[in-house]
Structure 1
């Protein structure tokens, strides 16, 4: 929460690419992070030519994200002729926001703060391995002679 909003935008792009969207290309994801971004904070190119794109919106909020914000994002997606988007927040979504995305034609995935933290942990974003344990078993082939 103490970082700049542009940091969250980059975290989101890094996470989605690490999850396998956009393949392993360096240019698969881009954080836009500027004013006048028309409601889009980042993009993920799903294929090498960029024919299919996922648009991202990241909100570093402490208050609940309501339906109006999701509707604005859906409008931004329509402005890009997009059919897919991911809306990520550090807080949570209202039940009206969740119901809204369930009823519209375009695919918008909502990721709240706890799910964001779990995804970051699971995919190694912002975490470092502290220790590794080696478990050994008896090699029966060695003793078969």
Structure 2
């Protein structure tokens, strides 16, 4: 969020904010029921609406944060794939389903499909298309399994 916008808003509306805070403290100290929280919510919503912050703007900010977080986690998982490829273990069943596990990652997929289910430290990251990095991770895990089974 733009700090300049908030700074301008606070400079222009400081009196309204101070009055809203005083009313909030009075409500919190005097009213002892659920009505207190309803009044608090109404006051906060009124200040937010008065500030010109629309729900659409809030939604955009939330979506931006979500997208950045998902991208960061995917980047971390991809980096871990490269680092943990030598420790990855490949296991497959007769139906063509396979599972690759490493200390922090787990991939599940089916032979011939172009997507795999990726989990990072037990948290699902959804289905990923098989990129060069994922393909390399799969190939290395197969080699690791072949080497360990031939010993």
Structure with the higher helix share, 1 or 2: 2
- Higher relative contact order (Cα pairs below 8 Å, separated by 6+ residues): 1
Bin the TM-score by the shorter chain: under 0.3
Report the TM-score when normalising by structure 1. Answer: 0.25
